[in-house]
Structure 1
Amino acid sequence: MEDLRKRLLKIEERINYLSQIKDGVEWGNLSEKIVILRDKFYEYTEDQLSEEIRALEESISFLEGRCEETLTSMDRVRIVRNTHRFSLKDILENVYEDYTELGGAEEVSIDPSMVAARASIMRRVKNKTVMQQVMVIGHEKGHGEEYRNGGCSKPWGNEKALRYMKVAETEGIPIHFYIFTPGSFPVEDYPGAGQQIARNLYAMAKLRVPMISVTSEGGSGGAEAVGMADVRLMFSHGYYSVISPEGAAAIEGKIREGEKMPKELVEACAENLHITAAENLKLGTIDRIVHEPPLGAKRDDFGFFRQLKSEIIRATDEVVLKTKSLRAFRAYELTMKKKTEGQVGEEPHIEISWDLNEDEVKRLLSYRSKKYRAMSCAAYSEESSACSVFCRKAKKSIAKLYYSFRYDLLKTQQKHVKKVFQDVSGEGSVLLRQVSSPITAAYDFISKKPGARPGKSPVSSSGTGEDPIEFGDVYTSPLANEDRTVTCPNAEKQGCKDLWVPDLYGEFGGVCENCGHHFPLEYQWYLKHLFDPDSIREFNAGVCAGNPLAYPGFEKKLQSAIAKTGRKSGIITFDARVMGVDLVVAMLYSDFRNGTVGSAEGEKFVRACESAKLKRRPLLSYVHTTGGIRIHEGTLGVVQMPKCTMAVREYIDSG
């Protein structure tokens, strides 16, 4: 009877789980039957109870199958947020043999939402057991603990993750990342959420160990802080998004604080953002899907944990084998094991050392660089003919040859060559003076007029009376045409006087003369005043922002922005000079979709980094205005963070 009671409680739990996933849908008949059986439990015989419970289990299984077939994107979000969902601690307990949590445990950790642990994972090779060490880093949502902060890491939590990434690099062990976060906690005080995410990405770009990431709940930059891996896996019932469906609905519907969020709008945004594992696999933002049981895995799905262990070992093996010179047969065996039916949940019995030597590390970093460089390249358009593409490639090849010759070959010999030229020039001038001095003396004696006095050398003058350092007309902001005054935001604290608009945007250049507050100016003003006159040469202007997710209504907004600005993306990339110094500039500006970043903007920024690296010039990333990632491109916008960071890191490392 006790076994039957447990089965009845399990049925009730499954019914409640279905109701939570389907957002309050009531399964009336089944709920009533469960209540009757529970209240009159001892009035039934054991056979009657067994029959009733078996019928209920069959009905529940049928309903679960139907629900699995009709899962929406928002249903998957609710699955991930459910308290029955497994967490990182459950993975550590069931996938790894043993682990030691680092940096403090539970609520005494500097940030309990971020867990770092040194763990051992066991695999069987032939007839022996092999233990391999890894570093496990990820978000811990917990199961209702308030101090976990719902998996939203603070900057010091992400810094903790970075610290143990470097420990793993020192020890030469792989890193397994697990992402369970709706997003990073928005802290604007130092060190700042965005700044710490950038530091993590910068370090991960060239981390010298294999990295695997597995996403359950991936929210924008918080996920990327520990997500820049060599292989990116995702759970089949998880979600990976640029923003939460509720956040997208608030932006799209212009919902103010305190107003009720329309359920239909939230559901529509979840669908339009393409947040599911299958959709992200199609977009190329993840590499593979880890399949879960119907309606998602729970804490007690031990078969799922065996499968996860197999997948994580296989993914690490794949990364390591790509760096090995002698790998053909093991790579083939690994591929066949993956394709063979009946091998799911069984780790590959192949002997592969996860230690990398110096050459293998170089291959690993090269593979990682190519992986992120190729991301989202199909999500934008570029207006160019076959001839122009050929010319651009030829020009790039010639430029590469020229700059390599100029800087790699000649630069090393520059001092020696310069000294030789100085010596030759000095010897030549002395020789020329000795040869020409008799002729010059004779000419001066013949041409000299009696009574003539030596005059002063004439002073060159343009005759215009203008200062020769002035450059034509000075650009004045159109904002200066308004005849009114404005008040500085710091007037109460600093005692600033009201400013007359023509003076503010004309003579003062948009800066308060008292406190130095900068008023917003159009990007054209900066182009005219920051760079030398006529030095700007724009490139990659043909790269055009697109609508890769076919987001409803966005195509019209995009065309409106193109017509308004005359440009095709929210970033301008160009060569310019500042006080005679050549440099490459990437400038985000406000007029095009408020400077939001999508695939086109990321591609242009990466090309600017490559151009600066090729030409050995300074790179100026000038942010006039940016609204962050363009939500209408979903995770294709999110991956611009690691993609652009990789380009910046390679530019800096090139010297």
Structure 2
Amino acid sequence: MNAEKKREALQQRASYAREILEGRNLPELDALLDKITRFNELNPGLSEEKAVEALEGFERRLGAFEELNDGKLTAMDKVRIVRHPQRVSLKDILENVYDNYNEIGGQDEHSIDPGMVIARAYVTRRKGKKVINQPVMVVGQEKGHGEEFRNGGSIKPWGNYKALKYMEVAARENIPVHAYVNTPGSYPVEDFPGAAQQIAENIYEMCGLTVPVVAIFSEGGSGGAEAIGMADKRLMFSHGYYSVISPEGAAAIEGRIRPPQRASRELIEKCASAQQITAQDNLRNGYIDEIIQEPPLGARAESFDFYKTLRQRVIRATDEVALSVRGIRLLRGLAMRLYRKDPDIIVRWDLSERARHRLVQRRHKKYRRMAQHAFKDQRTMLEKLSAARSGFISNTYSVMRYGIVKPLQDRVARLVDEVTDEVHVVTGKLTSIGNRVKGLAGMGKSGDSQVEKELTGLSAPGKPAAIIETTREYISPQAKSDREVTCPHAAKRGCLDIWARDLFNDYGGVCPHCGYHFPMEYQWFLANVFDENSIVEFNENISAGNPTGFPNFDERIDAAKEKTGQQSSCVTFHAKLEGMRLTCGMLTAPFRGGSVGAAEGEKLIRALELAQKKHQPFLAYVHGTAGIRIQEGVNGLIQMPRVTMAVRNYIEAGGLYIVLYDTNSYAGPVASFLGCSPYQYAVRSSRLGFAGPGVIKETTGLDIPPDYHNCFRALSRGHIQGIWDRRDARKNLHQAFLTIGGRNLYYR
């Protein structure tokens, strides 16, 4: 390298360090950058050899500076590293980590979504004279280096669809998936299929992928990361971050700041640190398995030694996943020990049918173990023993009733049906011959006329069908106020003012003129939908906490508990609906906006597991949810794949899972364990989607129309399957359970 090229490379490197460490007083770096920039001016007439020698001295000084400051990086410094245009990109990795690759699903701007890159790649491995080419499907978000058409790695719904499509191709071809997560978050588009709905589908299907999945995190932003991040092994770059929301977004929420105002640098730094977003934080909390060490101040396109390290770690992770599910358990343990002694052993990545089944089971156990430290289990020892006893009894009954007795009953029933069909064929033939004989003899006319009358005549009025009761003894606090209420649509639709006691009592919070639904308390739903005295709550003492130690958040959680009388925003209970037994998980808006954290996720998982043991249908009633609780960081975010995994297990076992949305439902829960249900309904006037209007404005700069999240728009794009009047919820749920669940309610 000649002197001028070396000087330019050093100048770029020093400028990069200055940008990463912005806002700090670094006189040594500033002086070095000035000397490099003005090198030719300060050293006129210097020979090429002497110039290179002088620049090498600057390079050593710059290297020492980078080493020194690398250990002092804050969480926000690492955020700046992953956002920098010089950051290593997926195309760089494909070129330098894999031996050959072919991009599929479109290229660059000529793609369904240029931010999502898919490639069929090969890893060539040699052991002596033996050469093996192992195929792999690489999916990942691509920012490029300042390529605007890639939208900064912020993926639209069709980009996530593309990723899912080719992950499923990998499963059919029995080849591993390497998922590179490098996104600030998904683009909040509610056009078909909708951001939330597509992320939910991605997570649901990734739960059951029957090939090894290795995820490598650089920038893991919220639901965008989870869309391709569920994996058997999760690796993370040492200077990356993985978070429920960007530090700026967290600061805006904490400081209650609205555009065009901006949060202060101090508040942003504070939120970045408090959310525990770094690789080291996530390894300690158990949400990643390994850290891949980067060069000082982060890996860039020219970090060629880093590519070697990355290749070794990714191959090793894929090997370990394959070995962990292959063969007999005793031999698997022996193989793992031998592999650790000799990492050059070549492991085949294609799996047998049994190994693929074990892989999915192992993935479920992995996610089930996560976040156990992040909630408070305040149950007494007696309550825990009682819950264990109840679970054991339910499990034993389930095995006996549905594992032994029911298959035997089904076998006998099938045999009886087959014999009956054969008898019907014979008797039908004999009956036909008999009818002909009777016809010839002039017999049987009175009987025929009676049959004809029954088939063609009008039915006599009988006893009227029972009317499902829709009003119970629950008085809304809003009905106690002696005032008139104006409907929001009064100016447009001419609605008259209504007395509060009439509106929130007799009318169930529904405008009698236009049908607009005013928000009602979740207690109204409990009183008016389920059979009287049938609700039995469980796990009420699993309590929300502050696992990240977020500043001043303990007080806010305690205040929510005192105000609502709940330990979390999730209430789980057994109930009856027209005598039908079911299990319900309910998110309640009064508790921190119905936000979901580790406690809520754990309660929902336990409720789904219990419903599966008891063979009961499951209802998720969303009184309202603002998304994942940002103060819990990844402890909250990880509930998206965790609960979705539980939902998938329940549905795959034959469970009937119905979701009903009320008021406002946004973000992570809708983009995961709620949005993956095949049967979703909404109460009229509710709003649902991926991101609220304020978040969309902040992240995209776009002003959205007022009806953007309206439930009718969600219905039109297929997100939900129906819209109900609140007063008909009991009747409609009963009808849905009967028609969808059928006679057995649980098993399809």
TM-score (norm 2): 0.77
Where does residue 639 of structure 1 map in the other structure? 638
Which residue of the partner structure matches residue 662 of structure 2? none
Q: Distance in 2 between matches of 1:100 and 1:28?
A: 43
**Residues 98 and 123 of structure 2 are in contact (CA less than 8 Å); yes or no, is this contact kept in structure 1?**
yes
Which has the larger displacement, 395-404 or 603-612? 395-404
Counterparts in 2 of 1:97 and 1:501: CA distance versus 1, 3 Å? same
**Whole-Å separation in 2 of the counterparts to 1:473 and 1:491:** 29
Equivalent residue, structure 2, for 1:334: 339
Is 1:255 matched with 2:257?
A: yes
Deviations 1:497-516 (A, max 9, x none): 33332221111111222332
> In the TM superposition, what whole-angstrom CA distance separates every residue of 1:385-407 from its partner, at most 9, and x where no partner exists?
44443332222112211232233
The more displaced of 182-191 and 238-247 is: 182-191
Deviation of the 1:228 alpha carbon:
0.5
User: d(CA) in 2 for partners of 1:107 and 1:41?
Assistant: 45
Residue 229 of structure 2 aligns with an amino acid whose one-letter code is G
Name the aligned partner's letter for residue 240 of structure 2.
G
Q: 1:425-454 deviations in whole A, cap 9, x for unaligned? A: xxxxxxxxxxxxxxxxxxxxxxxxxxxxxx
Residue in structure 1 matched with residue 560 of structure 2 by the alignment: 561
d(CA) in 1 for partners of 2:280, 2:208: 29
Looking at structure 2, the residues matched to 472 and 651 of structure 1 have their Cα atoms a distance apart, in angstroms, of 32
**How many Å apart are 1:519 and its aligned residue?**
1.1
Pick closer, same or farther for the CA change 1:312–1:623 going to 2, 3 Å.
same
Shift of 1:609: 0.4
Contact 2:470 2:528 in 1 (8 A): no
What is the CA–CA distance in structure 2 between the aligned matches of 1:512 and 1:367, rounded to whole Å?
Answer: 51
Q: Which moved more, 1:392-401 or 1:96-105?
A: 392-401
Aligned-residue offset at 1:116: 1.0
Q: Does the aligned pair in 2 maintain the 1:471–1:533 contact within 8 Å?
A: no
Amino acid at match of 2:34: E
RMSD (CA atoms):
2.2
Q: Which moved more, 1:350-359 or 1:545-554?
A: 350-359
Query: Counterpart in 2 of 1:408?
Result: 403
After the TM superposition, which residues 551-590 of structure 1 pair with which residues of structure 2 at under 5 Å, given as runs?
A: 551-590=550-589
Question: Do the aligned partners of 1:154 and 1:185 also contact (CA within 8 Å) in 2?
Answer: yes
- Change in Cα spacing, 1:362 to 1:256, as seen in structure 2 (3 Å) is same
Cα distance in 1 for partners of 2:263, 2:154 equals: 22
Q: Are positions 1:139 and 2:141 aligned together?
A: yes
What CA distance in whole angstroms lies between the structure 2 residues aligned with 1:622 and 1:566? Answer: 19
Contact 1:126–1:349, Cα closer than 8 Å, also in 2: no
Question: Does the aligned pair in 1 maintain the 2:471–2:528 contact within 8 Å?
Answer: no
TM-aligned CA deviation for residue 50 of structure 1 = 4.1
Alignment correspondent of 1:12: 11
Q: How far apart are the structure 2 equivalents of 1:473 and 1:523?
A: 14
Q: Compute the displacement of 1:35 (Å).
A: 3.4
Shift of residue 470, structure 1, vs aligned partner: 7.8
How far does residue 46 in structure 1 lie from its aligned partner after superposition?
4.4
How far is the alpha carbon of 1:94 from its aligned partner? Answer: 0.7
| CA distance 1:160–1:495, change in 2 (3 Å) | farther
1:131-155 CA-to-partner distances (Å, cap 9, x unmatched) read 1111111100111111100000000
Structure 2 residue 513 is matched with structure 1 residue 504: no
CA contact (8 A) 2:2 2:52 kept: no
Alpha carbons of 1:473 and 1:625: their partners in 2 closer, same or farther (altered >3 Å)? Answer: closer
Other-structure match for 1:152 = 154
1:252 CA displacement: 0.5
Residue number in structure 2 paired with 1:358: 353
**TM-fit CA distance, 1:114:** 0.6
Q: CA deviation at 1:652?
A: 0.5
| Alignment partners' CA distance in 1, 2:44 and 2:554 | 64
> By how many angstroms is 1:9 displaced?
1.6
Q: What residue number does 2:440 align with?
A: none
Instruction: Show the counterpart of 1:649.
Output: 648
Cα distance, 1:3 vs. partner? 1.8
Cα distance in 2 for partners of 1:318, 1:485 equals 67
Is contact 1:180–1:218 with CA below 8 Å preserved after alignment? yes
Give the partner amino acid of 1:411. K
**Structure 2 counterparts to residues 374-385 of structure 1, below 5 A:** 374-385=369-380
5 Å-filtered alignment, 1:464-479, equals 474-479=473-478
- Give runs of aligned pairs for residues 398-547 of structure 1, distance below 5 A: 398-414=393-409, 474-547=473-546
Would the aligned equivalents of 2:544 and 2:598 in 1 still touch at CA under 8 Å?
yes
How do 1:220-231 residues align onto structure 2 when only pairs under 5 Å count? 220-231=222-233
Structure 2 residue aligned with 1:196? 198
Equivalent residue of 1:226, what SS? helix
TM-superposed CA distance for 1:129, in Å, is 1.9
Measure how far apart 1:322 and its partner are: 0.8
Matched, 1:290 2:292: yes
Amino acid at match of 1:327: R
- Matched with 1:163 is 165
Deviation (angstroms), 1:469: 9.2
Pair 1:31–1:410, CA change in 2 (3 A): closer
* 2:240 counterpart (219, 234, 238): 238
SS state at 1:568 partner:
coil
Alpha-carbon separation, structure 2, partners of 1:128 and 1:473: 76
Pick the structure with greater CA Rg. 1
C-alpha distance in 1, partners of 2:271/2:510?
41
Change (3 A) 1:496 1:336: farther
Give the SS at the match of 1:43: coil
- For residues 600-641 of structure 1, the C-alpha deviation after alignment (integer angstroms, 9 at most, x for no partner) is 000000011001101111000110011100011100111100
Mapped partners of 1:244, 1:199: distance in 2: 23
Q: Residues 470 and 252 from structure 1, CA distance in 2 versus in 1: closer, same or farther, beyond 3 angstroms?
A: closer
Cα distance per residue 1:553-592 (max 9 Å; x no partner): 0011111111111111110000001111110000000111
The reply on whether 1:70 has 2:72 as its aligned counterpart is yes
Q: Residues 266 and 411 (structure 1 numbering): CA distance in 2 closer, same or farther, change over 3 Å? A: same
Change (3 A) 1:35 1:101: closer
C-alpha separation in 2, matches of 1:221 and 1:24: 30
Consecutive unaligned residues in structure 1, runs of 5 or more: 338-347, 421-466
| Residues 28 and 568 (structure 1), Cα distance of their counterparts in 2 relative to 1, 3 Å cut | same
Task: Give the distance between the partners of 1:612 and 1:538, measured in 2 at CA.
Answer: 13
Which segment is superposed worse, 125-134 or 553-562?
125-134
Normalising by the residue count of structure 1, what TM-score does the alignment of the two structures yield? 0.88
Matches of 2:232 and 2:467, distance apart in 1 = 57
Which residues in structure 2 correspond to 1:26-105 (within 5 Å)?
A: 27-46=29-48, 48-105=50-107
Q: Report SS of the residue matched to 1:327.
A: helix
Q: Distance in 1 between matches of 2:237 and 2:383?
A: 43
Equivalent pairs, count: 598
Look up the SS of the partner of 2:400 in the other structure.
helix
The one-letter code sitting in structure 2 at the alignment partner of 1:142 is G
